[in-house]
Copies of this chain bind each other. A is one copy, B any other.
C-alpha cells in the first residue's frame, strides 16, 4: 500500500500538503491539488484511517451496543438499525456492532473502544453497558429510559411509553374491554417498567383493579419459555386460571401470533371473542396476517435517526440547541384484530 510519503515524493510536494488535499482542512491550490490527486491515483493511494485516527482522536465510528450473547434482532431493531446506518452515513460515520460483555471489560487483553460514541439498545434497570460507558466517559445515547442510579441526565431517545399505554387502554376500554392480558417486554427492560406502571395506572383511573396475573414478561432468550411466550400465558389464563380475558396486548407480532394460537386452541376466535393489540410489531407483517393486526406504529427507523442526531450533537458534529430527551411520535394503526366486547 502506498503511503503519504510516496505520494508526496511523486507529486513533488510535502506530505503536509498531501494531507491537506485529502482532509480538505486547509486550502490547496488547484494545480497542486491535481498533481497530488494524479499521483495518488497512479499509486492507488488511500489515506490510512488508523493513522489519521491516532492524531485526530476520532474514529468516525459509533458503536451500536447490544446485549452480549442473548441478543436477537426483532423487526423493531432491524428498522431502528436501518435508521441509524442511514443517518450515520450522512455524517460520514460508520456503525460498529458492539456486544462487549462485562467480562471482557475486566480482562486486560482488551483495548479501548475504537468508537467516538455509542447508542445503547434496550437498556435494563441497572445496565452494565451504560455503567461502563459512563465510567469510561464515552458519549452515548440510550434508546429508552435510563434507570442506572449513577447516571443522571443522560441522553435518550424514546417513545412516550406512558402515553402509549394510556392510549391503548383508552382504546380498548372504549370498546368495552376490562379484562386485558398484557404480554410485556422482558422483565428488566426499562421499557417494561414504564409500560407496566402506565398500564396499571390507566386501568385504575377507569375503576379497573389491575391483577398481577394479567401482566407477563418476555422470558430470557434461549429459555424454553421464550419460544412459547404468548401461547403459554394465554393458555394458562384461559385454561387453568379460568380467567376472563377479552383483550390481549402483545409486545410484538410474533408474541401476538403465538397468543392467537393459544386462543384458537382454546376454541375461541380473534377478534370475535378476544381482541389482539400489538405494541411493537412489524407493520407490513401485521398488515399481512389474518386477521390483520391493530397496533402501535412506533417509528423505529425515526428513533434510529434521532439517536444518531443526538449523538452527533453530543460529539459536537451537529451545532445548535437540542433536547436531551427526544420523544418520537407514535400512533395507533387500526386494522382488524380489535372488536367491541
Contacts and interface: CB of A to CB of B under 8 A. Distances in A.
A209 to B, nearest CB: 32
Contacts of A96: 61, 94-97
A337 to B, nearest CB: 13
A284 to B, nearest CB: 6
B254 A284 contact: yes
B81 A112 contact: no
Q: Which 6 A-B pairs have the closest CB atoms?
A: A257-B288, A49-B111, A73-B78, A47-B111, A95-B97, A46-B112
* Complex copy number for this chain: 2
25 contacts: A21-B108, A22-B109, A37-B108, A46-B110, A46-B111, A47-B111, A47-B112, A48-B54, A49-B114, A50-B54, A50-B114, A54-B54, A64-B97, A71-B85, A72-B78, A73-B81, A78-B78, A85-B97, A96-B96, A257-B289, A258-B288, A260-B288, A260-B290, A264-B290, A290-B290
A85 B99 contact: yes
Interface in A225-263: 227, 254, 257-258, 260-261
Interface string A60-100: 01001000110111000010011001100100101111110
A68 B89 contact: yes
Contacts of A61: 96, 114
B48 A50 contact: no
Interface of A: 1, 21-24, 37, 40, 46-54, 59, 61, 64, 68-69, 71-73, 78, 81-82, 85-86, 89, 92, 94-99, 108-114, 136, 227, 254, 257-258, 260-261, 264, 284-285, 288-290
Nearest to A86: B69
Contacts of A48: 54, 111-112
Given A54-B51, A96-B95, A97-B95, A40 B108 contact: yes
